[in-house]
Amino acid sequence: MSRFPNGFLWGGAISASQSEGAYDVGGKGLTIFDVTEAGNKNTPRKRHDKIENDIHYPSHTAIDFYHTYAQDIQLFRELGIQCLRTSINWTRIYPNGIEELPNEEGLAYYDALFDELLKNDITPVVTIHHSDTPLYIAEHYGGWINRTTVDLFLKYAKTVLCRYKDKIKYWIVINEINAINYVEWFSAAAENMTLQEKETASYHLLLANASVVCAAKKINPDFIMGGMVTDCHTYPYTCDPQDVFQSIQDKHRNIFFADVMCRGEYPSYKWKELNRFDIQLHIKEEEKNILKKGCIEFLAFSYYSSHVSSMVKDEDIQGNLIQNIKGKNNPYLKSSQWGWSIDPMGLRIALNEFYDRYELPLFIVENGLGARDDAKQLPYINDDYRIEYLREHIAAARDAVTIDGVDLMGYLVWGFIDIVSGVTGEMDKRYGLIYVDRNNKGQGSNLRYKKKSFEWYQKVIASQGEEL
């Protein structure tokens, strides 16, 4: 059997807003997550203008990682992971995003977290911005539509880059930067945007990404700076040339952000699209230089599912849209409990396409299966369905490396400890290899239990991916 190469990074991934809780502790301000209530498979999450007493906001408690990280890291060490991807919550550092000086208590918290990881031989992979725009910036500046947000974000980023320059090697600037195509609120901190506003916000996100890369290399030339997209790989629904062409257009929509981060300029297909819709982007000459100089050194991406594209418009097919939870699934693939297609070969295809296009090291920083676990099985949960999903996707990634020649840095299981689902705000949509006793209302003992997948992933890591 084949193995992943030496130095391959095995690990897991979480985010601050989905794990920490303690939303009003340590001088932290409110993020847009903190006023967004939970939804479910059929009901989208809803934002509020303020915190209301009778509403459950999942980020307020999450799994209380803020207080439990030391114990949790011992479990992570037992699992054998080499790295943990997590994020810094912007409002722990600048509570409203506009303060003159950072919040020392917030900075000290992440010092302690990173020190604990390093003490246990776990390399932190840190995301600077994981959808937690300060609520103040959303309300007073209009989020990422406003150019000022770029400057405020750069100030925050420089603060954490300087503070942790001797502790962190791998950085991801903005989580799933292309998710603005699907979740405006969490990506742009704005809603109901016009096409002009959406493209403006997209540009500001890309400018912020490049600006941080440029600043980081001045702070510590040894930083390894990455950008991240969510891979929404799409197949033509049929071999009808119209469907094939639609899939190309859908691909452009998703690959555009990676094109800019990797190549340092807007591609021609995007300029044509902007001209077609009379979208004006006022890009200054010095900003063009920032985009060019601020190219990323590795491309990180999340992968959960593939989709289909079609020009057909009926009750089953969303015309001119990539198929997702509500769309018709690929008839050749099984689906998860939340309606997401399960497509390991799609991961191999994505790895090949990304590497062929950019010839940059790649990093799978999110992959996993959201599923209901039977709490009646506690203290042990048999999650063979999760093992099957992970086994097939790791095998596909291994083939991409050992057969296809893709340069892959590592593989991180998303939510390898149960956390709040970003899409739905549920705890019942569990991704973890470690069960956390919390329900959708934030109730429970908050105790941790190892699932069957924990022991399985332990063996995968120990065998360098040979034993699946």
- Which tens digits make up the pLDDT trace of 288-306? 999 999 999 999 999 999 9
**For position 387, which CATH number holds?**
3.20.20.80
> Which residue among the candidates 20, 176, 287, 426 is catalytic per the annotation?
176
> Which pLDDT score, from 0 to 100, does residue 397 have?
98
Does the residue 2 lie in any domain?
no
> Mind giving me the DSSP string for 404-434?
T---EEEEEEETSB----TTT--SSSB--SE
pTM for this structure? 0.96
| β-sheet bridge partners, residue 225 | 171
| pLDDT tens profile 152-164 | 999 999 999 999 9
Does the residue 3 lie in any domain?
no
> Which pLDDT score, from 0 to 100, does residue 394 have?
98
Per the structure block, which two tokens stand in for 356? 């062929």
> Which pLDDT score, from 0 to 100, does residue 207 have?
98
Residue 308, domain extent: 9-462
> Over pLDDT 90: what percentage of the chain?
84
DSSP assigned state of 445: -
How many domains does the chain divide into?
A: 1
Is the per-residue pLDDT at 320 higher than 70?
A: no
Does the residue 4 lie in any domain?
no
Q: Is the peptide bond before 379 cis (omega within 30 degrees of 0)?
A: yes
Does the residue 468 lie in any domain?
no
Collect all residues with Cβ–Cβ distance below 8 Å to 374 and sequence separation of at least 6.
381
Which of 19, 291, 38 lies closest to 132 in space, CA to CA? 19
> Which pLDDT score, from 0 to 100, does residue 324 have?
39
Does the residue 359 lie in any domain?
yes
Buried b (16+ CB within 10 A) or exposed e, 160-170: bbebbeebbbb
Does the residue 285 lie in any domain?
yes
Is the per-residue pLDDT at 352 higher than 70?
A: yes
Does the residue 467 lie in any domain?
no
Tell me how far CA of residue 8 lies from CA of 237, 240, 356, in angstroms. 35, 41, 20
| pLDDT tens profile 410-467 | 999 998 899 999 989 999 999 999 999 999 999 999 999 999 999 999 999 999 999 9
Does the residue 32 lie in any domain?
yes
| pLDDT tens profile 94-133 | 999 999 999 999 999 999 999 999 999 999 999 999 999 9
pLDDT mean across residues, the chain: 94
Q: Catalytic: 366? A: yes
> Which pLDDT score, from 0 to 100, does residue 328 have?
56
> Which residue among the candidates 184, 197, 287, 366 is catalytic per the annotation?
366
Question: CB–CB of 448/416 below 8 Å?
Answer: no
Per the model's pLDDT, the better-predicted residue between 177 and 327 turns out to be 177
Q: Catalytic: 388? A: no
> Which pLDDT score, from 0 to 100, does residue 182 have?
87
Is the per-residue pLDDT at 339 higher than 90?
A: no
Radius of gyration, CA atoms only, the chain? 21
> Which pLDDT score, from 0 to 100, does residue 160 have?
98
> Which pLDDT score, from 0 to 100, does residue 322 have?
41
Task: Indicate the Cα dihedral angle 133, 14, 178, 149, nearest 10°.
Answer: 20
